[in-house]
Amino acid sequence: MARRHALTVEAGAGLGAAIGVLLVVTGVEVIEGPGPRLVPWLAIAPFLAAAFAPWRWVVGVGALATATAALLVCMDTGGTETEGDTPIGPVIGLALATLASVAVSVIRQTQNERYAELVKLARVAQEAVLSPLGPRVGQLAVAGRYVSASAAADIGGDLYEALDTPFGVRMIIGDVTGKGIDAVRTASLVLGAYRHVAYERSDLREIVADLDRAVSRAAGDEEFVTAALVEERGGTLTVVNCGHPAPLLLRHGRVIPLDPPSTAPPLGLSPRVVPRVERLEPGDRLLLFTDGLGEARRAGRTSGDFFPIQERAWALLGHGTVVHGLASLESALVEWVRGQFDDDIALLLLEYTGAAPPAEPAVPSWEIGGTAVSRP
């Protein structure tokens, strides 16, 4: 609807400019007096309309331009003709210019419709890969956002998912090397495999092994997928990382990067992951993101000055709902890069709404032979 409104406004502006050309050329011609000196310039009007307006509007502008040319020629009583030149010449020229401009308009409109259809298909493909999230999954409030670097379509190789499984709430965020349809195909493969094995495997390391085999079988030699997998089970958070930016834990005004105990390569390169385990507290938030966030560079700078996500994370994401948090982050990003993103960005923001972790139970002891010993 918004795009259709924008096209209508654009067409109206083009039509207004074309009418303006007609008025200016006609006014100058009348002021200059006899002799169709500027009549050929009326051809600008239909071609200007053809650049913005539908072909039916172009026909109207061309007909008006041709009629204006005929009127100006008829008003010319000064007799400035030379051999081989007749007063009807400019009128015929305007008629031919109108036909050419209509052809231009038809070709442009056909290309625009084809482009719009491709954009629509790209969005459908992206929605098929990334299913809608939230507002709640298990004991987590969840919001997801995909920020595309392409103005044409929201399509790329970044991926995310959140599932409520028998083993707790499980989430994945990842980034496929490359762009375009091949990246989308690989992202779809990873998500399809993940949506199956997340319900079957009790250990995140087993899920990583399954996904690694899937990527190795299907992807090319130089294609891999960075990914972070997160599980929330009974207030315990487990994170495994395959070459991906570390998630950020937001707690009481602090931002804590959940770096892995040891580094591991991406999926497709046989990662051996070591889980990181944290206890969650009510109100804790977790930001998962792809590397496009860390690489977002301030517009107009050639080096450095990347978006300071750790310094600004709490101010942007620590208040309001998780949906509002992601909206504020995206607004800050757009302002930082002035709308010129170099890479796609996938974002997941989670908030733990469960109970506080239980206190560690005291180790019971009892007397054996007059000596207090700990229960094994």
pLDDT at 304: 58
For the whole model, what pTM was predicted?
A: 0.68
- DSSP string computed for 252-314: TTEEEE---SS--PPBTS------EEEE--TT-EEEEE-HHHHT-B-TT-SS--B--HHHHHH
- Going 324 to 326 to 327 to 332, the CA torsion angle's sign is positive
- Residues 204-256: tens digit of each pLDDT: 999 999 999 999 988 766 789 999 999 999 999 999 999 999 999 999 999 99
Those residues of the chain that have pLDDT short of 50 are 1-3, 5-6, 77-85, 362-376
Percent of the chain whose predicted confidence (pLDDT) is above 70: 79
pLDDT at 373: 40
pLDDT at 248: 98
Q: Which long-range contacts (CB under 8 A, 24 or more apart) does 362-365 make?
A: none
241 by Cβ neighbours in 10 Å (0-12 / 13-18 / 19+) ranks as: buried
Sorted by where each begins, the domain ranges of the chain are 2-78+85-123, 130-352
**Alpha carbon 281 to chain centroid, angstroms:** 32
Give the CATH number of domain 130-352.
3.60.40.10
DSSP-assigned letter for residue 356: P
pLDDT at 374: 38
pLDDT at 274: 97
pLDDT at 278: 96
- Joined tokens for residue 263: 């580094």
- Residues 326-335: tens digit of each pLDDT: 999 999 999 9
pLDDT at 9: 59
pLDDT at 361: 52
